[in-house]
Amino acid sequence: MGLPLAITATGMVTGVGLSAPATCAAIRCAIDNFQETRFMDSGGEWILGCEVPLEKPWRGKTKLIKMASAAIKEVLQENTDINPAQTPLLLCLAEHSRPGRIIDDDAQLFLDLQDELGFEFSDQSLVIAGGHVAVAIALKHARELIHQQGARHVLVAASDTMLIAPTLAHYEEQERLLTSDNSNGFIPGEAGAALLVESASGKSENLLCCEGLGFAVEGAHIESEEPLRAEGLTAAIKESLTDAGCETGDLDFRITDISGEQYHFKEASLALSRTLRERKAEFDIWHPADCVGEVGSAQGLIMLSVLKAACEKEYSKGARMFAHMGNDDGKRSCIILTWGRGGGN
């Protein structure tokens, strides 16, 4: 991929913390904030969820804007030399096919977010309605913006919520929601997150760098009737390894968007068995959704923020790792990351 991208700052608001350090500390300690929501399942029991406790009871699009704004402000407060007008914002949102999606106009939401923040971003900004894989798509765009179009910084942000009545009703009907009648399901949540991305070249400090990206489509996705062989995720992992110029055996552990459903654990296991060609005593798998719940398009950004904190505080399982994500429609992505001086080891 040429020069790697460095993730140099993070911001988050989640159900377990209203900042990146607070959220990462809670996830490190395996603390969750799963509580009864205002939604009820078909059995008459309250649905568990992980709600972001903002200062006012905002709902809907307003809350999405407030969460994204808070995460972006956290990043910008740590980096006062950033000029938003010269910085592209890649805003990651729920995929358009998401049942119960509350955003009817992506462009208007972007404009409303700028109004909330009080400034405008570069006209190179984009909205990426990509769900879980949106973060990898954003990094691909950021690579081009930085290495080919001369952008100094790129902001990647996401805001999403699953705590919407039609969304919960759909997933409960599909037996994918954790309820009193179904143990093989996810706990819904919501979150806002942001990352600052820039070139890793010329930097002497230790950095978390994206060195490879891979994309593919899984035919046997969770809503299909086909037998799962994890061909899509395997292909995405292989493409990212080629992009980074390494093998799975060179990596130390992985982090995923798995949020409780057995399908995704099986897929991750199959994909690893098809890409890892040497025996390793340990190859840990992290899944932060255990603490923050299923948070849609913000999941990938939270995963990378957790990796950055783990590397900085020296509790990661190694200096080279990969992150993989997938959407219900079969889209899969994989990101190869390294921690070291200027992105090296």
Euclidean distance between CA atoms 131 and 99, whole angstroms: 12
Is-contact 212 242, C-beta < 8 A?
A: yes
pTM check: above 0.85: yes
Give how far Cα 82 sits from Cα of 141, 146, 170, 301, 308, Å. Answer: 19, 14, 42, 20, 20
Could you tell me the CATH superfamily of domain 207-341? Thiolase/Chalcone synthase (3.40.47.10)
Euclidean distance between CA atoms 302 and 255, whole angstroms: 10
Intrachain domains 5-199 and 207-341 with the same fold: yes
Q: Which residue, among 17, 68, 11, has the nearest Cα to 197 in the 3D structure?
A: 11
- Looking only at the bridges linking them, the beta strands covering 253-256 and 46-49 are unpaired
Could you tell me the CATH superfamily of domain 5-199? Thiolase/Chalcone synthase (3.40.47.10)
The pLDDT profile of the chain, 345 residues, written as one tens digit per residue, is: 457 999 999 999 999 999 999 999 999 999 999 999 999 999 999 999 999 999 999 999 999 999 999 999 999 998 888 999 999 999 999 999 999 999 999 999 999 999 999 999 999 999 999 999 999 999 999 999 999 999 999 999 999 999 999 999 999 999 999 998 999 999 999 999 999 999 998 788 899 999 999 999 999 999 888 999 999 999 999 999 999 999 999 999 999 999 999 999 999 999 999 999 888 888 999 999 999 999 999 999 999 999 999 999 999 999 999 999 999 999 999 999 999 976 454
Q: Which residue, among 60, 218, 201, has the nearest Cα to 143 in the 3D structure?
A: 201
Domain boundaries of the chain, sorted by first residue: 5-199, 207-341
Euclidean distance between CA atoms 281 and 253, whole angstroms: 11
